[in-house]
Amino acid sequence: MELTVLGATGGTGRHLMSEALEAGHEGRAFARSRAKVEQA
């Protein structure tokens, strides 16, 4: 499944992206600050 997460650098967004990637899903993260986004 491919997911899009808005607010991916916030607490909930980070957790959601982490869980999704660990489960083998693909994800796209949107955040206000590019510097806060980590490459997975």
Domain spans of the chain, in order of start: 2-36
Average pLDDT taken over every residue of the chain:
87
Quote the tokens at residue 35: 């510097």
In DSSP terms, 26 is beta-bridged to 2
Q: What is the largest CA-CA distance in the chain?
A: 26
Quick: pLDDT tens for 18-37: 999 999 999 898 888 878 77
Bigger pLDDT: 24 vs 40: 24
Q: How confident is the model at residue 9 (pLDDT cuts 50, 70, 90)?
A: confident
Both tokens of 29, joined, read 């993260």
Please report the pLDDT score of residue 4 as a whole number.
Answer: 94
Q: Is the pLDDT of residue 40 over 60?
A: no
Question: What's the rounded Cα separation, in Å, for the pair 24 and 19?
Answer: 9
The model's pTM: 0.70
Question: Any residues with CB less than 8 A from the CB of 7 and at least 6 apart, and which?
Answer: 13, 30, 31
